[in-house]
Structures are given as C-alpha cells and as structure tokens.
Amino acid sequence: KNEVEQSPQNLTAQEGEFITINCSYSVGISALHWLQQHPGGGIVSLFMLSSGKKKHGRLIATINIQEKHSSLHITASHPRDSAVYICAVPNSGGSNYKLTFGKGTLLTVNP
C-alpha cells in the first residue's frame, strides 16, 4: 500500500501570504490528487496531475515523480482559502480505483 505523508499538519497564515503544502508518497504512481475540504465537510477535487505543474487561479500544484513529492501552493492567500487540503495517490498494486489519502493540512488564513 502506498504511504502518504503531508506537511505541515496545521498552517496559519495572514491574508496575502504565499502558502506551500507538501506531500510525499512511497510508491510510484500514475497521478496524484489534491483535494480541498471545507468546514462543512464536502470535498472538492482541485488537481489531478501526473507530471510537471498545473495552475488554476491562485492555486499551483507541482509534482516531482522521481522524488515522489508534490507541493500545493496558494498565492495571495485569502480567508476563504481556509480549509483542509488533502493529498491522495493510487494504492500500489496497479488499481487506480483505490486511493490512499493523507491526513490533511488544516490551513487557516486570517484577515
């Protein structure tokens, strides 16, 4: 089974700061997922990436397949970015249907 480690567990920032959340995994993968969970509990898929970098608005996700590491960056952070950010990768064994999830990073952005 793939092991996923996220850091930091908790992150507090001031509005406008640049945020970085890290994710490491143990087994080679086809693609990595970044998810956002708001206080109400619903989860939204932010990115699914298999190489390089993706950008959506103020969010940027990068992945280094050789180092088995991904980062999620938020530029010009805003209080509405406050959420839990979760990294997920396919389990080892070839099935992309089963994912292993990190424990999440709780981000709080203060005004």
Partner 1 sequence: DGGITQSPKYLFRKEGQNVTLSCEQNLNHDAMYWYRQDPGQGLRLIYYSQIVNDFQKGDIAEGYSVSREKKESFPLTVTSAQKNPTAFYLCASSIVVLAGVEQFFGPGTRLTVL
Chain residues binding partner 1 by CB under 8 A are: 4, 30-31, 33, 35, 40-45, 48-50, 86, 88, 90, 96-104
Question: Helices in the chain by DSSP H: which ranges?
Answer: none
Q: Are strands 105-110 and 10-14 parallel, antiparallel or unpaired?
A: parallel
Tokens of 85: 């950010």
- How far apart CA 81 and CA 93 sit, in angstroms, is 34
Q: Which is nearer to partner 1, 13 or 88 (CB)?
A: 88
Cβ 103 to partner 1 shortest distance, Å = 5
Cβ 50 to partner 1 shortest distance, Å = 4
Rg (CA), the chain: 13
Cβ 16 to partner 1 shortest distance, Å = 29
Q: Which is nearer to partner 1, 46 or 109 (CB)?
A: 46
